[in-house]
Structure 1
Amino acid sequence: MADDGPSVGRHHDRPAFHRTPRSPRARAPGRRDEDSIPNPALHRRGRRRGHRLPGWRPGLRPRSLCVVLRIMKPSIRRLIILSIATLPLLASAGERAPEAAAAEGIPEVLTLSWCLERARQANPALEQDAASAAAAKERIAPAGALDDPRFSYEASNIPTGDFDFASTPLSGNQLGFKQKFPFPGVLGNREAAARAAAKAADWQLEDRQLRIAAAVERAWAELGFAHRALAITDRNIDLLRQLTRIAETKYSVGRGLQQDVLRAQVELTRLLNERLSRVASVERAEASLAALLDLPPETRLPDTTDLADDAPLPTLTELVERLEERSPLLKRLRERIEEADRLERVARLEGYPDFDLGVGYRIRRSVPGDPVDGDDFVSAGITIRLPIDRRKWQARVAERQALARRARADYRNAHAALLNSLRSRFASLRQADSEVDLVGDGLIPQARQSLESTRSGYEVDKVDFLDLIDSQVSLLEAELRLERAWADRRAAFSAVEAAVGETLR
């Protein structure tokens, strides 16, 4: 079988295809361009199979990329070709739509303040809670109002013989009004329960605003990290291409190893493949933030401002005190307890009689023999509801008592969960803050110095190429860790603010 190229294991052998470098415009005598070959496809197949077809002479030096591709394993070669072929697609995927962004008023650089303002105005969840709060306020007045009075009309005592109102002194047109009065205290407690429910709805809206703000900042930071991770990956791809050219140059003059070229190409392919994931991460982050801002799904969002945020961290004790005082979630649940207590009192009072008061006025005609000579009649009366079936009313009271116990249990459960969540989020915040200091002040400067030193050493053959690649990878990971730490710090800070119930920055 024909040899496809120099063996990877022959580290000290000069490649068979090595020639003294020529000017890029020079061409060896007798060498044919591919356009001059009668059948280029057959020519290429013949070279892959080791056949010596017309137009091909062994020993001539191909271009460096062709050399590397030819000596690689087929699987690695296909991956590199696929990555190079997808670069135009990735570039087109990263393009923005200025018209759509301008239509929505999106700035060229996406700021957090713009996103928060947009969410306050357009987020459907906030609109839903705002409508619920407005509806709850409108229930207060009806809850404390009496039922509408009732009007009645009666054609009273008409003889069936002649249907004449003037036949008897008792005949007439009866007009009546009735008003129902519940037992004292029922209406007041109903109104108080409705007012507590309205306050709970207001606190629900405020809690939702804080949670939406935290979600927006988290999505905004994630979008910023995705953009920066993509930029870091692109920058490292360019740098690795430079290292690859250095390795190829040293290899072409016999000072380098074939495995150095292969390792550089493999690492470059890994970064190209990672770039695919970075582009997808940008699109996912855009979709998450666009949903919170109620933007069309096809809207493309620009890069964000700097993720760095050096706001000082409060202590956990301060956060717990503020949570007890300011948390809208706990305030909402306290209002729910008040509402449940009021409704329990309503159930007790409804077990007592209520009253219907009525007045009537009969319009009569004067008839012979009428002792009052046709004077109109006035009447008044009262109707009392008798709650005889005590089991029914006791069951209603028991139901309201159970609901009041549930409201208190909900408060205790939410209080414990909120404290636990606050401690967890504060721990994440401290971890991210410490990682920002560690990576930004220590790891990244060290990684950059190591890369520069290793690169200088490699250019004078004092450092192995694998060490150079490792230094480059270490710097890439450190830069990504710093951006990830900034994004995590913002997300954790906003989550702490949502739990506490107020802005801390």
Structure 2
Amino acid sequence: MQFASSGKHSFRVILRGRVFLRKYRLLLVVAPLLIVADNLYADEVNPVVLNENSAVKVAVSDNPNLAEVQERYKALLEVPSQVGTLPDPMVSLNAMNFPTDTFDRDQEPMTQLQVGVSQVIPFPGKLGLKEEAAEYDAKAAGHSVDEVRLQLVKNVKSKWWQLYYLDRALDTVKNNQALLRQFITVAQTKYETGKGLQQDVLLAQLELSRLMDQEIQLRAIRRNQAIKLNILMDRPANDVIVLPVQVSKSMPALADENSLYLQAEYSRPLLKQMETKIEAAQSRLDLAKRDYYPDFKLGVTYGDRTGDNPPPMGGSRSDFFSVMVGVKVPLYSGRKQSKAVSQRSSELQMNRYALLDEKGLVTAAISSAVTDYQEAKQQFSLYGSGIVPQAQQTVQSMLAGYQVSEVDFLNLVRSQMTLFNYELQYWKALSDAKQALARLEAAVGEESIYE
């Protein structure tokens, strides 16, 4: 019975081994095809290496969303002079008091042809306030352009560093695949000489298959990230992006967090935009209060008459000259002007509260970015100077021990996969730190965030 149980166990091991071998062979066939397909893109377009600064320059120059906001700013610059100018005068032509029986101009003394000009004149100060509010709107739009540019730069840098991490992750996967192939060769040699187990070979092949699957997933993720970066730079979505291998790994010290808050209050375009909106709302409130005062309308009319006066006056009929002055009476001020003042007051308070809320969000974004940067910086240093080198030494030591049958193969594979994960964490820490810096620059509103 014990022998039968052992035989069944051996049969299951062999069966699983055959399944693993089939999957392994399939991936060995598919993976090279994926690599060839990926290389075809590079051969077609002969891509240029794109560094971080180049990507930012291209995006700032070509991004359509930024161009749209810039055109809106240009359009608003044309508004102040329009609203600050008097309304166009009205020219009138009138035919007055024509007799309906003959329509003869000489028949009646009051028959005349008139030409007149009238002009609406708002109460003093109204036009100036309208122009002032429009100028603030244009100024706020200018700050909006700066804010959109700032967020665009942040997004480009973040996508660039995500791509850089994926490139290094793919390199790490390939290196570990090569290491596992070395394990397979050693395990097969020991198995063929009777010093090893078939399970060791199957286990190494399974781990290699998993790495191949992970490579397929990483390539898909990288392509999706490249599409997003291409869109930000207004390039075709399927353009190939090649990044440099060597980048700066410096982790500069940041300025004090409170000083970053102060910098943001003076430098962040979004806060400037909201402050300008408050000024515009104040001008509109002043204008609403000025609407209690009436507007004026001035007009002059010249009347041309023909024919002669009857005796005893006699002589030709003289022409007429008329002057008109009109005043708009705010008769319904309780339903119009008062409501407008109340509306503008609420809008002013709304903008003030929005500014306070946004300042809180900005300080939170600064603190969050600082925290993420410090964490990633410490992890990058720890992985680079301690954990990864130690894990590499552990794998080399275990491989040497396995070759002389002093180390179990499962522990060797586990140490290798641990090294693989640590190497990924090393590159991820670098990418996370750089992305945190990009977010911090955007939150503060300028790049001078260092000591």
Question: What is the TM-score of this pair, normalised by structure 1?
Answer: 0.82
Structure-2 change in CA distance of 1:501 and 1:288 (3 Å): same
Structure 1 letter corresponding to 2:287: V
Corresponding residue for 2:277?
Answer: 336
SS at match of 2:334: helix
Corresponding residue for 2:388?
Answer: 444
Separation in 1, partners of 2:226, 2:48: 15
Structure 2 letter corresponding to 1:298: N
**Alpha-carbon shift at residue 199 of structure 1 (Å):** 0.9
SS at match of 2:39: coil
Instruction: State whether structure 2 residue 369 is matched by structure 1 residue 428.
Output: no
Instruction: State whether structure 2 residue 153 is matched by structure 1 residue 209.
Output: no
**Alpha-carbon shift at residue 9 of structure 1 (Å):** 7.2
Corresponding residue for 1:31?
Answer: none
SS at match of 1:390: coil
Q: Is the 8 A contact 2:17 2:202 kept in 1?
A: no
Corresponding residue for 1:402?
Answer: 346
Corresponding residue for 2:67?
Answer: 127
Partner residue of 1:87 out of 22, 31, 53: 31
Identity %: 31
SS at match of 2:326: strand
SS at match of 1:94: helix
Separation in 2, partners of 1:7, 1:235: 38
| Deviations 1:223-254, CA, capped at 9 Å, x for gaps | 11111111110111011101110111011111
Structure 2 letter corresponding to 1:280: A
Corresponding residue for 2:224?
Answer: 284
Aligned residues, how many? 441
Separation in 2, partners of 1:149, 1:309: 68
Q: Is the 8 A contact 1:223 1:304 kept in 2?
A: no
Structure-2 change in CA distance of 1:81 and 1:411 (3 Å): same
Instruction: State whether structure 2 residue 79 is matched by structure 1 residue 139.
Output: yes
Separation in 2, partners of 1:189, 1:306: 57
**Alpha-carbon shift at residue 313 of structure 1 (Å):** 2.8
Q: Is the 8 A contact 1:220 1:304 kept in 2?
A: no
| Deviations 1:165-205, CA, capped at 9 Å, x for gaps | 23344332211111111122211111111111111111111
Separation in 1, partners of 2:257, 2:405: 54
Unaligned runs of 5+ in 2: none
Separation in 2, partners of 1:261, 1:504: 55
SS at match of 1:175: strand
Separation in 1, partners of 2:70, 2:35: 42
Corresponding residue for 1:324?
Answer: 265
Partner residue of 1:230 out of 149, 170, 173: 170
**Alpha-carbon shift at residue 222 of structure 1 (Å):** 0.8
Unaligned runs of 5+ in 1: 11-49, 51-68
Instruction: State whether structure 2 residue 411 is matched by structure 1 residue 470.
Output: no
| Deviations 1:446-503, CA, capped at 9 Å, x for gaps | 1222222222222233332223222322221122111111111111111011111112
Corresponding residue for 2:295?
Answer: 354
Structure 2 letter corresponding to 1:248: Q
Further displaced range: 298-307 or 438-447: 298-307
**Alpha-carbon shift at residue 161 of structure 1 (Å):** 3.4
Separation in 1, partners of 2:36, 2:230: 20
Corresponding residue for 2:212?
Answer: 272
Separation in 2, partners of 1:239, 1:8: 33
Structure 2 letter corresponding to 1:325: Y
* Paired residues for 1:36-435 under 5 Å: 72-73=16-17, 75-98=19-42, 101=45, 107-314=47-254, 315-365=256-306, 367-369=308-310, 373-392=316-335, 393-435=337-379
**Alpha-carbon shift at residue 366 of structure 1 (Å):** 5.0
**Alpha-carbon shift at residue 96 of structure 1 (Å):** 4.6
Choose between structure 1 and 2: higher helix proportion: 2
Q: Is the 8 A contact 2:308 2:317 kept in 1?
A: yes
Structure 2 letter corresponding to 1:86: V
Instruction: State whether structure 2 residue 437 is matched by structure 1 residue 493.
Output: yes
Further displaced range: 211-220 or 254-263: 254-263
Task: Tell me how large the CA RMSD over aligned residues is.
Answer: 2.5
SS at match of 1:151: strand
SS at match of 1:342: helix
Structure-2 change in CA distance of 1:168 and 1:263 (3 Å): same
Structure 2 letter corresponding to 1:286: A
Structure 2 letter corresponding to 1:327: R
Structure number, greater radius of gyration: 1
Separation in 2, partners of 1:240, 1:452: 12
Partner residue of 1:481 out of 425, 438, 450: 425
Structure-2 change in CA distance of 1:387 and 1:89 (3 Å): same
Structure 1 letter corresponding to 2:182: Q
Q: Is the 8 A contact 1:167 1:367 kept in 2?
A: no
Q: Is the 8 A contact 1:287 1:297 kept in 2?
A: yes
Structure-2 change in CA distance of 1:96 and 1:432 (3 Å): farther
Further displaced range: 126-135 or 489-498: 126-135
**Alpha-carbon shift at residue 100 of structure 1 (Å):** 6.7
Further displaced range: 322-331 or 275-284: 275-284
| Deviations 1:335-367, CA, capped at 9 Å, x for gaps | 111111111111121222111111111223352
Separation in 1, partners of 2:314, 2:291: 46
SS at match of 2:94: strand
| Deviations 1:34-59, CA, capped at 9 Å, x for gaps | xxxxxxxxxxxxxxxx9xxxxxxxxx
Structure 1 letter corresponding to 2:191: Y
Question: What is the TM-score of this pair, normalised by structure 2?
Answer: 0.91
Q: Is the 8 A contact 1:120 1:126 kept in 2?
A: yes
Q: Is the 8 A contact 1:192 1:342 kept in 2?
A: yes
Separation in 2, partners of 1:292, 1:407: 31
Separation in 2, partners of 1:440, 1:462: 29
**Alpha-carbon shift at residue 277 of structure 1 (Å):** 1.3
| Deviations 1:403-422, CA, capped at 9 Å, x for gaps | 11111111111111111121
Corresponding residue for 1:44?
Answer: none
Q: Is the 8 A contact 2:261 2:444 kept in 1?
A: yes
Further displaced range: 303-312 or 481-490: 303-312
Separation in 2, partners of 1:164, 1:328: 71
SS at match of 2:284: helix
